[in-house]
Structure 1
Amino acid sequence: MAQCSVYHTMHNAIEKTVCILVEKCYHSNLKVVVLMSNLDQQEHLNKLLWTYSQKQFIPHGSKLDPLPYLQPVYITDEFMNPNQATVLMLVEPVASQFAAILDAQIADHSILKFIRICIIYSDTEQQATANIQKITTSLANIGYTIEIYTQSANGNWVAI
Protein backbone atom coordinates (compact mmCIF):
# COMPACT_ATOMS: atom_id res chain seq x y z
CA MET A 1 0.00 0.00 0.00
CA ALA A 2 1.21 3.52 -0.78
CA GLN A 3 2.38 5.50 2.22
CA CYS A 4 2.83 9.19 2.99
CA SER A 5 4.95 10.27 5.95
CA VAL A 6 4.89 13.88 7.10
CA TYR A 7 7.87 15.19 9.08
CA HIS A 8 7.39 18.51 10.86
CA THR A 9 10.93 19.52 11.80
CA MET A 10 12.47 22.27 13.81
CA HIS A 11 13.57 24.98 11.37
CA ASN A 12 17.30 24.38 11.79
CA ALA A 13 16.90 20.62 11.28
CA ILE A 14 15.18 20.46 7.89
CA GLU A 15 18.37 19.94 5.86
CA LYS A 16 19.61 17.26 8.21
CA THR A 17 16.22 15.51 8.08
CA VAL A 18 16.23 15.50 4.27
CA CYS A 19 19.79 14.12 4.19
CA ILE A 20 18.98 11.37 6.70
CA LEU A 21 15.87 10.29 4.77
CA VAL A 22 17.73 10.35 1.44
CA GLU A 23 20.49 8.23 2.96
CA LYS A 24 17.98 5.70 4.33
CA CYS A 25 16.31 5.40 0.95
CA TYR A 26 19.64 4.98 -0.81
CA HIS A 27 20.71 2.19 1.57
CA SER A 28 17.33 0.52 0.98
CA ASN A 29 17.99 0.57 -2.79
CA LEU A 30 15.08 2.94 -3.36
CA LYS A 31 15.33 5.60 -6.03
CA VAL A 32 14.27 9.06 -4.90
CA VAL A 33 13.09 12.30 -6.45
CA VAL A 34 13.52 15.27 -4.11
CA LEU A 35 11.27 18.16 -5.10
CA MET A 36 12.44 21.54 -3.84
CA SER A 37 10.54 24.81 -4.13
CA ASN A 38 13.17 26.65 -6.19
CA LEU A 39 16.46 26.28 -8.06
CA ASP A 40 18.55 27.83 -5.26
CA GLN A 41 17.27 25.31 -2.71
CA GLN A 42 17.80 22.51 -5.22
CA GLU A 43 21.45 23.38 -5.71
CA HIS A 44 21.98 23.97 -1.98
CA LEU A 45 20.81 20.41 -1.25
CA ASN A 46 22.88 19.14 -4.18
CA LYS A 47 26.02 20.67 -2.61
CA LEU A 48 25.06 19.60 0.90
CA LEU A 49 24.81 15.94 -0.10
CA TRP A 50 28.43 16.07 -1.30
CA THR A 51 29.61 16.91 2.23
CA TYR A 52 26.83 15.46 4.39
CA SER A 53 28.57 12.24 5.40
CA GLN A 54 32.27 11.80 6.03
CA LYS A 55 31.83 8.03 5.97
CA GLN A 56 30.45 7.63 2.46
CA PHE A 57 29.12 9.39 -0.60
CA ILE A 58 25.44 9.32 -1.54
CA PRO A 59 25.26 9.31 -5.35
CA HIS A 60 22.91 12.02 -6.55
CA GLY A 61 22.34 14.62 -9.21
CA SER A 62 20.12 17.54 -10.06
CA LYS A 63 18.29 18.63 -13.16
CA LEU A 64 21.44 20.59 -14.07
CA ASP A 65 23.50 17.38 -14.32
CA PRO A 66 23.74 15.04 -17.32
CA LEU A 67 22.21 11.54 -17.35
CA PRO A 68 19.42 12.09 -14.81
CA TYR A 69 18.01 8.61 -15.43
CA LEU A 70 21.16 7.09 -13.85
CA GLN A 71 20.85 8.96 -10.55
CA PRO A 72 19.54 7.04 -7.53
CA VAL A 73 18.72 10.42 -5.96
CA TYR A 74 17.46 13.16 -8.26
CA ILE A 75 16.97 16.71 -6.95
CA THR A 76 14.73 19.10 -8.87
CA ASP A 77 12.49 22.13 -8.57
CA GLU A 78 10.07 20.77 -11.20
CA PHE A 79 7.82 17.75 -10.94
CA MET A 80 9.61 15.07 -12.95
CA ASN A 81 10.75 11.50 -12.48
CA PRO A 82 13.59 10.76 -14.92
CA ASN A 83 15.15 8.06 -12.70
CA GLN A 84 11.86 6.13 -12.30
CA ALA A 85 11.91 6.73 -8.53
CA THR A 86 9.39 5.12 -6.23
CA VAL A 87 9.97 7.63 -3.42
CA LEU A 88 9.00 11.30 -3.68
CA MET A 89 10.28 13.80 -1.12
CA LEU A 90 8.54 17.14 -0.95
CA VAL A 91 10.64 19.69 0.93
CA GLU A 92 8.73 22.68 2.33
CA PRO A 93 5.66 22.09 0.13
CA VAL A 94 3.76 25.07 1.52
CA ALA A 95 4.45 27.35 -1.44
CA SER A 96 1.67 27.91 -3.94
CA GLN A 97 3.51 26.23 -6.84
CA PHE A 98 3.46 22.92 -4.96
CA ALA A 99 -0.32 23.03 -4.63
CA ALA A 100 -0.86 23.31 -8.39
CA ILE A 101 1.72 20.61 -9.16
CA LEU A 102 0.32 18.17 -6.62
CA ASP A 103 -3.32 18.85 -7.48
CA ALA A 104 -2.66 17.87 -11.09
CA GLN A 105 -0.69 14.74 -10.15
CA ILE A 106 -3.31 13.67 -7.61
CA ALA A 107 -6.26 14.40 -9.92
CA ASP A 108 -4.99 12.11 -12.66
CA HIS A 109 -3.58 9.59 -10.13
CA SER A 110 -0.13 9.71 -11.76
CA ILE A 111 1.33 10.35 -8.31
CA LEU A 112 0.49 6.72 -7.47
CA LYS A 113 3.71 5.63 -9.21
CA PHE A 114 5.37 6.65 -5.92
CA ILE A 115 4.96 3.98 -3.27
CA ARG A 116 6.22 6.39 -0.64
CA ILE A 117 5.88 10.14 -0.30
CA CYS A 118 7.79 12.03 2.39
CA ILE A 119 6.71 15.57 3.18
CA ILE A 120 9.29 17.51 5.16
CA TYR A 121 8.49 20.98 6.43
CA SER A 122 9.42 23.32 9.24
CA ASP A 123 6.86 26.11 9.04
CA THR A 124 4.67 26.65 12.09
CA GLU A 125 2.21 29.07 10.50
CA GLN A 126 -1.41 28.00 10.57
CA GLN A 127 -1.65 28.37 6.77
CA ALA A 128 1.29 26.01 6.28
CA THR A 129 -0.37 23.39 8.48
CA ALA A 130 -3.62 23.83 6.55
CA ASN A 131 -1.76 23.32 3.24
CA ILE A 132 -0.11 20.14 4.54
CA GLN A 133 -3.50 18.86 5.75
CA LYS A 134 -5.00 19.55 2.31
CA ILE A 135 -2.20 17.60 0.62
CA THR A 136 -2.46 14.64 3.00
CA THR A 137 -6.27 14.56 2.73
CA SER A 138 -6.01 14.44 -1.07
CA LEU A 139 -3.42 11.67 -0.86
CA ALA A 140 -5.54 9.70 1.64
CA ASN A 141 -8.51 9.99 -0.72
CA ILE A 142 -6.59 8.16 -3.46
CA GLY A 143 -5.31 5.41 -1.17
CA TYR A 144 -2.23 6.61 0.68
CA THR A 145 -1.79 5.71 4.34
CA ILE A 146 -0.77 8.84 6.23
CA GLU A 147 1.73 9.00 9.12
CA ILE A 148 2.55 12.31 10.79
CA TYR A 149 5.60 12.97 12.93
CA THR A 150 6.77 16.05 14.76
CA GLN A 151 10.24 16.68 16.10
CA SER A 152 10.62 17.21 19.82
CA ALA A 153 12.98 19.76 21.37
CA ASN A 154 15.64 17.05 21.84
CA GLY A 155 15.40 15.99 18.17
CA ASN A 156 13.39 12.77 18.56
CA TRP A 157 10.47 12.02 16.26
CA VAL A 158 7.04 11.68 17.87
CA ALA A 159 4.04 10.24 16.02
CA ILE A 160 0.93 12.38 16.27
Structure 2
Amino acid sequence: MTDLLFYHLETRPLEKVLPTLLEKTLERGWRAVVEVGSRERVEALDAALWTYSDDSFLPHGVAMGGDADAAQPVILTDGRQNPNAASVRFFVDRATPRAEQGYDRLVYIFNGHDPDAVIEARGVWRALRETYSVTYWQQDAEGRWSKRA
Protein backbone atom coordinates (compact mmCIF):
# COMPACT_ATOMS: atom_id res chain seq x y z
CA MET A 1 0.00 0.00 0.00
CA THR A 2 1.24 3.49 -0.85
CA ASP A 3 2.29 5.67 2.10
CA LEU A 4 0.65 9.09 2.59
CA LEU A 5 2.58 11.21 5.08
CA PHE A 6 1.03 14.34 6.58
CA TYR A 7 3.53 16.97 7.76
CA HIS A 8 2.00 19.67 9.97
CA LEU A 9 4.19 22.80 9.89
CA GLU A 10 4.22 24.76 13.11
CA THR A 11 7.68 26.12 13.91
CA ARG A 12 9.69 26.05 10.67
CA PRO A 13 8.40 27.33 7.32
CA LEU A 14 8.03 25.28 4.17
CA GLU A 15 11.14 26.87 2.64
CA LYS A 16 13.23 25.33 5.45
CA VAL A 17 11.45 21.97 5.66
CA LEU A 18 11.01 21.05 2.00
CA PRO A 19 14.73 21.03 1.06
CA THR A 20 15.52 18.60 3.90
CA LEU A 21 12.69 16.25 2.92
CA LEU A 22 13.75 16.39 -0.73
CA GLU A 23 17.37 15.65 0.18
CA LYS A 24 16.24 12.57 2.13
CA THR A 25 14.13 11.49 -0.83
CA LEU A 26 17.11 11.74 -3.19
CA GLU A 27 19.37 9.90 -0.69
CA ARG A 28 17.00 6.93 -1.03
CA GLY A 29 17.43 6.97 -4.79
CA TRP A 30 13.91 8.25 -5.45
CA ARG A 31 12.81 11.00 -7.82
CA ALA A 32 10.27 13.56 -6.63
CA VAL A 33 7.67 15.85 -8.10
CA VAL A 34 6.44 18.75 -5.94
CA GLU A 35 2.93 19.96 -6.69
CA VAL A 36 2.48 23.56 -5.56
CA GLY A 37 -0.81 25.43 -5.17
CA SER A 38 0.01 28.29 -7.57
CA ARG A 39 2.45 29.31 -10.29
CA GLU A 40 3.71 32.22 -8.17
CA ARG A 41 4.61 29.84 -5.36
CA VAL A 42 6.37 27.50 -7.82
CA GLU A 43 8.63 30.43 -8.71
CA ALA A 44 9.19 31.32 -5.04
CA LEU A 45 10.05 27.73 -4.09
CA ASP A 46 12.33 27.43 -7.11
CA ALA A 47 14.31 30.43 -5.84
CA ALA A 48 14.30 29.05 -2.28
CA LEU A 49 15.70 25.68 -3.39
CA TRP A 50 18.62 27.40 -5.11
CA THR A 51 19.50 29.46 -2.04
CA TYR A 52 18.45 27.44 1.03
CA SER A 53 22.03 26.49 1.94
CA ASP A 54 25.50 27.81 1.16
CA ASP A 55 27.08 24.35 1.30
CA SER A 56 24.48 22.20 -0.44
CA PHE A 57 22.98 21.83 -3.89
CA LEU A 58 19.55 20.41 -4.64
CA PRO A 59 19.19 19.65 -8.36
CA HIS A 60 15.71 20.46 -9.59
CA GLY A 61 13.70 21.85 -12.47
CA VAL A 62 10.39 23.58 -13.02
CA ALA A 63 7.48 22.38 -15.15
CA MET A 64 5.50 25.36 -16.42
CA GLY A 65 3.01 24.82 -19.18
CA GLY A 66 3.84 21.10 -19.23
CA ASP A 67 7.52 21.50 -20.18
CA ALA A 68 10.18 20.06 -17.90
CA ASP A 69 13.53 18.34 -18.13
CA ALA A 70 12.67 14.68 -17.48
CA ALA A 71 16.25 14.02 -16.33
CA GLN A 72 15.84 16.25 -13.26
CA PRO A 73 15.53 14.31 -9.99
CA VAL A 74 13.11 16.91 -8.56
CA ILE A 75 10.46 18.82 -10.52
CA LEU A 76 8.30 21.68 -9.19
CA THR A 77 4.91 22.05 -10.85
CA ASP A 78 1.53 23.68 -10.43
CA GLY A 79 -0.10 20.85 -12.40
CA ARG A 80 -0.77 17.14 -12.13
CA GLN A 81 1.93 15.89 -14.48
CA ASN A 82 4.80 13.62 -13.47
CA PRO A 83 7.43 14.56 -16.08
CA ASN A 84 10.40 12.86 -14.38
CA ALA A 85 8.61 9.57 -13.56
CA ALA A 86 8.90 10.34 -9.84
CA SER A 87 8.06 7.72 -7.24
CA VAL A 88 7.35 10.37 -4.56
CA ARG A 89 4.86 13.22 -4.93
CA PHE A 90 4.83 16.18 -2.53
CA PHE A 91 1.78 18.44 -2.13
CA VAL A 92 2.55 21.90 -0.71
CA ASP A 93 1.01 25.37 -0.46
CA ARG A 94 -2.59 24.22 -0.60
CA ALA A 95 -2.11 21.62 -3.33
CA THR A 96 -4.04 18.64 -1.98
CA PRO A 97 -3.62 14.92 -2.58
CA ARG A 98 -6.09 12.92 -4.59
CA ALA A 99 -6.23 9.21 -5.23
CA GLU A 100 -2.94 8.96 -7.17
CA GLN A 101 -1.53 6.01 -9.09
CA GLY A 102 2.09 5.05 -9.66
CA TYR A 103 3.72 6.54 -6.57
CA ASP A 104 5.45 4.76 -3.69
CA ARG A 105 4.91 7.68 -1.35
CA LEU A 106 2.79 10.83 -1.15
CA VAL A 107 3.78 13.67 1.18
CA TYR A 108 1.27 16.34 2.15
CA ILE A 109 2.76 19.39 3.87
CA PHE A 110 0.39 21.96 5.35
CA ASN A 111 0.70 25.13 7.39
CA GLY A 112 -0.63 24.73 10.93
CA HIS A 113 -1.06 28.50 11.26
CA ASP A 114 -3.53 28.63 8.36
CA PRO A 115 -6.96 27.52 9.66
CA ASP A 116 -8.22 26.78 6.15
CA ALA A 117 -5.20 24.57 5.42
CA VAL A 118 -5.80 22.64 8.66
CA ILE A 119 -9.46 22.10 7.72
CA GLU A 120 -8.39 20.89 4.25
CA ALA A 121 -5.85 18.51 5.80
CA ARG A 122 -8.51 16.97 8.03
CA GLY A 123 -10.73 16.48 4.98
CA VAL A 124 -7.91 14.84 3.02
CA TRP A 125 -7.17 12.55 5.98
CA ARG A 126 -10.81 11.44 6.16
CA ALA A 127 -11.10 11.01 2.39
CA LEU A 128 -7.88 9.03 1.85
CA ARG A 129 -7.21 7.11 5.07
CA GLU A 130 -8.79 3.95 3.65
CA THR A 131 -6.89 4.24 0.35
CA TYR A 132 -3.37 4.76 1.74
CA SER A 133 -1.24 3.89 4.71
CA VAL A 134 -1.41 7.30 6.44
CA THR A 135 0.85 8.77 9.11
CA TYR A 136 0.77 12.18 10.74
CA TRP A 137 3.91 14.09 11.72
CA GLN A 138 3.94 17.31 13.74
CA GLN A 139 6.80 19.71 14.51
CA ASP A 140 7.85 20.21 18.10
CA ALA A 141 9.16 23.50 19.50
CA GLU A 142 12.65 22.80 18.13
CA GLY A 143 11.35 21.96 14.64
CA ARG A 144 11.90 18.18 14.98
CA TRP A 145 9.22 15.81 13.73
CA SER A 146 7.15 13.65 16.04
CA LYS A 147 4.88 10.91 14.75
CA ARG A 148 1.40 11.53 16.20
CA ALA A 149 -0.70 9.01 14.27
Q: Tell me which protein shows more strand as a share of its residues.
A: 2
Counterpart position of 1:118: 107
Q: Does 1:68 align with 2:69?
A: yes
Structure 1 gap segments, 5+ residues each: none
CA distance in 2, matches of 1:67, 1:128: 28
- Cross-structure match for 1:139: 128
Deviation at 1:15, TM superposition (A): 1.3
Counterpart amino acid of 2:79? E
Percent identity between matched residues is: 28
Aligned partner of 2:92 in structure 1 is: 91
Cα distance in 2 for partners of 1:115, 1:138 equals 19
What is the letter of the counterpart of residue 150 of structure 1?
Q
Asked if the contact 1:4–1:136 (Cα under 8 Å) also holds between the matched residues in 2, the reply is no
When structure 1 is superposed on structure 2, of 117-126 and 79-88 the one drifting more is 117-126
* Alignment partners' CA distance in 2, 1:28 and 1:55: 20
Q: Deviations over 1:132-151 (max 9, x none)?
A: 12212332222x11110111
Q: 1:155 to 1:113 in 2, by over 3 A?
A: same
* CA displacement at 1:56 relative to structure 2: 2.9
TM-score (norm 2): 0.87
Compute the RMSD of aligned alpha carbons.
2.1
Q: Distance in 2 between matches of 1:36 and 1:129?
A: 16
Which deviations, in whole Å up to 9, do the C-alpha atoms of 1:1-31 show, x marking residues without a partner? 3101111112652211111111111121111
Question: How many residues in Structure 1 have an aligned counterpart in Structure 2?
Answer: 147
Gap runs ≥5 in structure 2: none
Q: Hey, which of these two has a bigger chunk of helix by percent? A: 1
Q: Secondary structure at the match of 2:86?
A: coil
